[in-house]
Amino acid sequence: MLYKDQMVLSGAVYISGVPIQKNSGKSYRLGLELYSKYNATANCSWQSNIPLIINKN
């Protein structure tokens, strides 16, 4: 997904405790999720999930 003028958290907080946001300009998010399942027996199975994510702010 491509974003333009996205507001992101800066990591700083105001004296009142509210998080400070800033404009990140152009950014993107790219992701792929791999899922697998293996049924060893009727009562036993293994599942795995691997997310691969690239973010640019």
CA 53, distance to chain mean position in Å, is: 7
For position 24, what pLDDT does the model report?
82
Strands (E), the chain: 2-4, 7-13, 19-23, 26-39, 45-56
For position 2, what pLDDT does the model report?
82
For position 50, what pLDDT does the model report?
96
- Per-run averaged pLDDT (10 residues), the chain, 57 residues: 83 90 87 95 95 88
For position 34, what pLDDT does the model report?
96
For position 7, what pLDDT does the model report?
83
43 vs 51: CA distance, rounded Å: 27
For position 25, what pLDDT does the model report?
82
